[in-house]
Amino acid sequence: MPTTVIFEDAVASVAAEAQDEDLWLAPSELARLGWALEPEGLCRGPLCVPIPPARRAELVRADGAVNLAALARHRGQVVVHDAERGVWVCGRAGEVRETTRRSLVAPDFTLPDLDGRLHSLSQLRGRKVLLNSWASW
Domain ranges of the chain: 3-96
| Cβ contact 98:86 at 8 Å | no
> In this structure, which long-range contacts are made by residues 70-77, counting pairs with CB atoms below 8 Å and at least 24 apart in sequence?
70/22, 71/35, 71/42, 72/7, 74/49, 75/49, 77/8
Q: What is the pLDDT of residue 99?
A: 67
- To the nearest whole number, what is the mean pLDDT of the chain? 89
pLDDT band for 9, please (50, 70, 90 cuts). confident
Q: What is the pTM of this model?
A: 0.69
Closest alpha carbon to 90 in 109, 70, 115: 70
Tell whether the model's pLDDT for residue 97 goes beyond 70.
no
Q: What is the pLDDT of residue 96?
A: 63
